[in-house]
Structure 1
Amino acid sequence: MKGFDTIVMVDWSSGNDTGPTPRKDAIWAGINRGGTAEDPVYLRNRQEAERWLPDLFEAEHSAGRRVLAGFDFPFGYPKGFAKALTGSADPLGLWDWFEKFVEDTPRQNNRFDLAGQINLDIGDGKGPFWFNGLQRDINGLSRTKDSYANPFPEKRQSEAQAKGAFTCWQMGGAGAVGGQVFTGLPVLARLRKRFEATVWPFEPLDGDLCFVEIWPSLTVGPNPEEVIKDAWQVSEVARQIAALKVEELAEILAVDAAEEGWIFGLGHEARIKGVPPLRNDCFALPPGVHWTPVDEALGMLQERLSPVTTTCRAALKDALGRVAAEDVAARRSNPPLPNTAVDGYGFAGGRPAGQHTLPLAQGRAAAGDAPAVLPEGQAIRVLTGAALPAGVDTVILQEDVIVEAGTVRFSGPVKAGANTRKAGEDITEGEVIVSQGRIIRAADLALMAATGVSEVTVRAPLRVGILSTGDELVEAGEVAADGQIFDANRPMLLGLMEQLGHEAVDLGRAPDNRDALRGILNKASARVDVILTSGGASAGDEDHVSALLSEAGAMDLWRIAVKPGRPLALGMWAGTPVFGLPGNPVAAMVCTLIFARPALAVLAGAPWQKPQGFDVPAAFSKSKKAGRREYLRARIRDGRAEVFASEGSGRISGLSWAEGLVELPEPAMQITDGDRVRFIPYGSFGIKA
């Protein structure tokens, strides 16, 4: 499906005109255009809203922007009502019926009288609607639910699943939505006809204007004290939907509810509300900063970034390699009961030195058997893993006993509790066994399964888009003209992302054309969670990545005191973080491992990841200047760190020759053969050598 350029979310009201001063219980609209939120719009009554909405839709259409508009009232009724009222089960025919019969002005409307008339026509005056909010009695509409008799289901299927959702039959009262349906559907019916809008889930959303039903309380938390709740909720819902990728939106919209309608996002709450926004200035450097030390750059990234991935429930078989989105607690102790660690014979208490003989009880205790009861003074055959029978707390190995004539004989001493395991000696019920942020490993699957955990809340894989830039690049295998080179960065970076556990998305190559690059970034921001570009990240005439991010008002060129590397363009594009890496493959890989890797881990929901280094003797000599932290391509041979013969950043062969990096700190130093240096193996970065 196609994505949406503009998200408009509307909190509706069936009440009277609320006056010129913004207040609660009015109509509020939240707009998010291209990932940028606008101030919520206050609309004092439905007539003003019906004037404002067409103007907005016309403007968006003229600008070529596709609009998703949400309204916070049901688009349909429980099954059977539409046909009983109109003769057809078509819910959009029901919209037309309401448009024909609802009378509405800023000060009053006929919703209560119309509800009473419907009750008389199809419910013998006892339902389905109830609640009269007027001072006068209305024939057919009770004030309370006392004499209520509903010939239809009490709730739609979606409302039955949405905890706290009100039935559409209640025409008034705190939280009720019945009046909003009566006053909202006529407006939507007129807008639908005027703009040829498509309505979810009754129609495919293939138009330029599409309507969906929302319930803000489904995904929006408490509002800040200084903000009106309705205004806060529509802005937040618009932001949440704008943050969804096209694939996520398509999955959420895949609903079959052709008559009753459905609440947008129901069943996908964690995915929708689990995506906090990154600040547009999260990469901003302090004023006056020209050269940033490596540790300061890493500290700023660690402090300013937060997870951008959504959450969902996953079965254990699908959880390997995923990031735990919350702590996982044991549902049962391990072991759940005291059991035997060996094959042997169990009895009560220890035995001193000397010979001992015990009567052998009938039967045995094997793994999986329900615990038996052992008579006092006897022994019983037990097999490894069996729950200890009541009356057994000690087990002797079968090799250490003689069984004859219904008895077991053995020599002491035998320590009380020998060869047994206590209940919960490994894990106790309720204990946290997997912490939030942990990347789930095979051993974690075993631990969760052993303690009764069958599924876990995990983060969706971080989708990392990889884009190469530059007219000089051609694909390996193509014909390269004079002055052109094969694109080495994209295959390398795609491979690195896969090894780091992210979902690598190939965004191809972008020419040195700013408009073309802008279009690629626009499409990419709708598909991925973060973008890694290589090339064009400095400040030259053809450095279009940094130039475009600067135009968007969300770019900082980090000149980092590192070799190889230095220029690193960091910014936001339509709410998506962008890492502009150097074009040189050696510098691109080093900057990815040192800076992008830990940042991507945080964006994916994992903790900040610092690589483990080891001090080893150097198998090289070097005179290092002061000022920059250097990373040399290196490998370990005979317990010593060798470095690649050339430090030239154009020597790509050194990347595959190496098995890790030697890190040299900022001060000047003279390294001679045998001096201790810090070696960071590729495995410490999470990649294979």
Structure 2
Amino acid sequence: MNAPLQSFDDALAALLVNAKAIEATKTLPSLDVAGRILARPLVSTIDVPAFDNSAMDGYALAIADFGAMPARFPVMQRIAAGAVGQPLAAGEAARIFTGAPIPAGCNAVVMQEDCEEIDGQLTVKGAVSPGQHIRRRGEDITAGTQVLPAGQRLQPQDIALAASVGVAELQVNARLKVGLLFTGDELTMPGEPLPPGGIYNSNRYALSALLGRLGCVVNDYGNVPDTAKATRDALAEAAAENDVVISCGGVSVGEEDHVKAAVGSLGALQLWRIAMKPGKPLAFGRVADAAFIGLPGNPVSSFITFVLLARPYLLKRMGATDYLPQRIPVKAGFDWPKPDKRREFLRVKLEFDAQGEAIARLYPNQGSGVMTSLVWGDGLIDLPAGQSVKAGDRVSYIALSQLIG
């Protein structure tokens, strides 16, 4: 008898509780850390900005009384970015450019569009308020402030922030080594003739790309023949050389599905068969000292189980603290009158009505082998088990962009 299907939430929780972060770290130039996980909090040693500076191209003014401004200001100097000007006396002005240091005595900057300079005399149009258009020292970051937490997956803006406080190197977690293997005698590599009964191995390309975008070191062991010995040998080799082994196919209940038995002989299987659609035959356990994730062979099932279950596990193993996708409510633009007993993930595309409200449109063929649904769509509707939908209902949407970056 097969064990009862495990709920999606319980399966995800089981994966995450077993996702112990790797401890090895490496210090790299900041130009080389995109997508890596920050190992230590980053604390700024400087103020940003480091000095008061102009937020505009215009004129720096020294005003003694904002209620009784002089009709004209003599322009005494020109201050470009990177230059340091001389102090201004009350009633004087300086031509100044964006980012240039504010000279002593200046208490306001007027943008050039609101001024007129003729023969070194400046006329200001309109009212001027104290401190306008002056960026104050430390208004963005003060010395001693944590600017990036440990566990941050470094995006371009994070790296720019590190550079803005003068950091040229960052300590990041080591990359996770992941071994990939694929089972099925029917699998054929693109570029080769397709034999009778054969299919091209699209999963190899999808999973390799997804793992690469996560920043994993990917070791690809290719297609494994559908025999018990070949499956055991491939799993053992991959486990010896990687932190995590991911197989695709062979975790169902067919006579040629050898992965489950091979994992049992080399380690232990903790999860098998999840109450989700697509993607029921997902497995999790260990092979020797490596973690093991067995994905289903159908292309959409493989993709969705990877992004929703394997990806959070891998990110947590890599040391990331933000590893779960956000869900947002949107309006259903479809009917779903016959729900499944399992939790369903429907492929949809968002459109917007005249009022700007997001409406999810359903791809007409939700089959687990229909990869066109993932290319056409931009997200998934997370539908609880047994829940029907009528057009206009609120449903939970996950953007694919969150799941593949």
Same fold (TM over 0.5): yes
1:640 aligned partner: 359
1:517 to 231, 234, 252: 231
Q: Unpaired segments of 5 or more residues in structure 1? A: 1-287
1:649 to 368, 371, 380: 368
| 1:463 is aligned to 2:177 | yes
Rounded to whole Å, the distance in 2 between the matches of 1:388 and 1:557 is 64
Rounded to whole Å, the distance in 2 between the matches of 1:564 and 1:603 is 25
Structure 1's 350 and 456: CA in aligned 2 closer, same or farther, altered over 3 A?
farther
Rounded to whole Å, the distance in 1 between the matches of 2:87 and 2:320 is 49
1:630 shift after superposition: 0.6
Equivalent position SS for 1:555: strand
- CA shift digits 1:150-178 (9 cap, x unpaired): xxxxxxxxxxxxxxxxxxxxxxxxxxxxx
CA contact (8 A) 2:59 2:93 kept: no
1:386 to 94, 97, 100: 100
- CA shift digits 1:394-448 (9 cap, x unpaired): 2233444455676544466421112211101111122222221222122222222
Rounded to whole Å, the distance in 2 between the matches of 1:685 and 1:311 is 25
Paired residue type of 1:465: G
2:13 to 299, 315, 319: 299
Equivalent residues, number: 398
Rounded to whole Å, the distance in 2 between the matches of 1:563 and 1:417 is 60
Rounded to whole Å, the distance in 1 between the matches of 2:126 and 2:186 is 84
Q: What does residue range 259-658 of structure 1 map to in structure 2 within 5 Å?
A: 290-308=4-22, 310-342=24-56, 343-348=58-63, 351-353=66-68, 355-361=70-76, 363-370=77-84, 372-375=86-89, 378-403=92-117, 408-410=122-124, 413-625=127-339, 627-637=341-351, 639-658=358-377
Paired residue type of 2:365: S
1:685 shift after superposition: 1.1
CA contact (8 A) 1:567 1:582 kept: yes
Structure number with the bigger relative contact order (C-alpha 8 A, sep ≥ 6) is: 2
Paired residue type of 1:599: Y
Paired residue type of 2:388: Q
Rounded to whole Å, the distance in 1 between the matches of 2:230 and 2:96 is 74
| 1:677 is aligned to 2:395 | yes
- Which structure has greater strand proportion? 2
Q: What does residue range 64-83 of structure 1 map to in structure 2 within 5 Å?
A: none
- CA shift digits 1:96-124 (9 cap, x unpaired): xxxxxxxxxxxxxxxxxxxxxxxxxxxxx
Equivalent position SS for 2:232: helix
TM-score by length of 1: 0.53
CA RMSD of aligned residues (A): 2.7
1:570 shift after superposition: 1.0
| 1:661 is aligned to 2:368 | no
CA contact (8 A) 1:323 1:458 kept: yes
Equivalent position SS for 2:388: strand
Rounded to whole Å, the distance in 2 between the matches of 1:322 and 1:644 is 34
1:580 shift after superposition: 0.5
1:325 shift after superposition: 1.4
1:470 shift after superposition: 2.2
CA contact (8 A) 1:345 1:395 kept: yes
2:355 aligned partner: none
Worse-matched range after superposition: 428-437 or 333-342:
428-437
Paired residue type of 1:511: P
CA contact (8 A) 1:367 1:385 kept: yes
Paired residue type of 1:674: G
Rounded to whole Å, the distance in 2 between the matches of 1:384 and 1:608 is 36
CA contact (8 A) 2:61 2:91 kept: no
TM-score by length of 2: 0.88
Rounded to whole Å, the distance in 2 between the matches of 1:349 and 1:504 is 67
Structure 1's 557 and 372: CA in aligned 2 closer, same or farther, altered over 3 A?
same
1:684 shift after superposition: 2.3
Structure 1's 360 and 531: CA in aligned 2 closer, same or farther, altered over 3 A?
same
- Which structure has greater helix proportion? 1
1:598 shift after superposition: 1.0
Rounded to whole Å, the distance in 1 between the matches of 2:120 and 2:347 is 72
Equivalent position SS for 1:678: strand
> Which structure has the bigger radius of gyration?
1
Rounded to whole Å, the distance in 2 between the matches of 1:596 and 1:552 is 21
CA contact (8 A) 1:615 1:677 kept: yes
Q: What does residue range 193-232 of structure 1 map to in structure 2 within 5 Å?
A: none
1:296 shift after superposition: 1.9
CA contact (8 A) 1:340 1:387 kept: yes
Paired residue type of 2:363: F
1:354 shift after superposition: 5.3
Paired residue type of 1:651: V
Structure 1's 409 and 496: CA in aligned 2 closer, same or farther, altered over 3 A?
closer
CA contact (8 A) 2:22 2:173 kept: no
Equivalent position SS for 1:599: helix
Rounded to whole Å, the distance in 1 between the matches of 2:212 and 2:267 is 31
